[in-house]
């Protein structure tokens, strides 16, 4: 159970996450430099396989950059280091229902979306676990990246990135601002040959737009679970992993992902309405 004292202690530590502008400038511009370079290299010929390997190394460097920024901003602050470390292990007082929703929201939403798509004539083969993936990831196995990328990202987004915004804004605005920045952050990945975002654009611009729109309800739901579980970083990691892993485990038609975005949006609206105090307090007390 999260007590009033827990909330006050949480607010006190969040006040120390002071540099949102610096954080988001660095975690956007540095990965962009790596990823646009990777995009250019990935299309070079001849010896394309070699260039794709170089591109994947550059892409991984860009992925790791936000984590390096967090280290830079927290290395000299023992309170922040202690806070971040503690938030990996604070499961004791978390209500099991939030852990259950962390694990189930994304896989259940894509399965319901696929089921709805059947009503419009789409194939039931979407439910087959094919073992195939919709993108490549260079030198790293795709299944490994589906797990590694969320871990690395959330070690930055929910160790420093979310709380530095929450220090300035209410949770609703924090989530919207982060969702917009996160969407912008992903844009250069669409330039890298055969990467997920690149393939989305090739399938149709509407699917790229859906990816960007889907980030908004996804972030609202993830941040709701994050704060309802005492800012638990592992909760954010698990929620993020389930989003990518189950969308690749099955074979959803791209239109089913649009249906999933609608379902997640409905869920996010319900959560925000029911948790108005959590989302619309001006900022931390």
The answer, yes or no, to whether residue 190 has pLDDT greater than 60, is yes
Omega within 30 of 0 (cis) for the link into 45: no
Q: How confident is the model at residue 32 (pLDDT cuts 50, 70, 90)?
A: very high
Kindly state the average pLDDT of the residues 240-263.
92
Q: Residue 273: is it exposed, middle or buried by C-beta count within 10 angstroms (0-12/13-18/19+)?
A: exposed
| Residue bearing the bigger pLDDT, 51 or 209 | 209
pLDDT of amino acid 68: 97
Kindly state the average pLDDT of the residues 177-183.
97
Percent composition of the chain: helix, strand, coil (DSSP 3-state, to 5): 75, 0, 25
| CB distance 80 to 231 below 8 Å | no
Mean pLDDT of the residues in the chain: 90
Tell me the per-residue pLDDT of 135-152, one tens digit each, with 9 for 90 and over: 776 667 777 888 999 999
Tell me the per-residue pLDDT of 206-233, one tens digit each, with 9 for 90 and over: 999 999 999 999 999 999 999 999 999 9
Of the candidate ranges 25-29, 85-89, 102-106, the one whose mean pLDDT is the lowest: 85-89
pLDDT of amino acid 171: 96
% of the chain exceeding 90 in pLDDT: 69
**Number of other residues whose CB lies within 10 A of the CB of residue 55:** 28
The answer, yes or no, to whether residue 3 has pLDDT greater than 60, is no
Catalytic annotation, residues: 153, 186
pLDDT of amino acid 132: 72
């Amino acid at each position: 159970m999260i007590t009033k004292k827990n909330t006050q202690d949480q607010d006190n530590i969040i006040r120390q996450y002071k540099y949102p502008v610096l954080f988001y400038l660095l975690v956007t511009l540095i990965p962009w430099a790596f990823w646009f370079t990777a995009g250019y290299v990935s299309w070079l010929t001849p010896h394309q396989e070699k260039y794709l390997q170089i591109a994947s190394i550059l892409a991984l460097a860009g992925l790791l950059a936000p984590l390096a920024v967090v280290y830079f901003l927290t290395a000299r602050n023992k309170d922040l280091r202690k806070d971040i470390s503690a938030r990996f292990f604070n499961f004791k007082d978390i209500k099991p229902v939030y852990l259950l929703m962390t694990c189930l929201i994304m896989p259940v939403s894509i399965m319901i979306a696929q089921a709805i798509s059947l009503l419009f004539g789409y194939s039931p083969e979407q439910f087959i676990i094919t073992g195939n993936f919709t993108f490549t990831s260079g030198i790293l196995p795709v299944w490994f990246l589906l797990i590694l990328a969320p871990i690395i990202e959330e070690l930055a987004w929910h160790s420093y990135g979310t709380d530095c915004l929450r220090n300035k804004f209410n949770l609703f605005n924090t989530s919207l601002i982060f969702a917009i920045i996160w969407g912008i952050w992903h844009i250069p990945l669409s330039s890298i040959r055969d990467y997920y975002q690149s393939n989305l654009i090739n399938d149709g611009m509407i699917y790229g737009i859906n990816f960007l729109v889907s980030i908004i309800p996804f972030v609202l739901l993830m941040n709701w679970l994050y704060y309802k579980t005492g800012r638990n970083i592992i909760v954010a990691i698990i929620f993020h992993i389930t989003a990518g892993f189950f969308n690749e485990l099955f074979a959803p038609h791209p239109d089913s992902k649009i249906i999933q975005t609608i379902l997640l949006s409905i869920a996010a609206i319900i959560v925000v309405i029911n948790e108005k105090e959590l989302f619309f307090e001006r900022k931390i007390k």
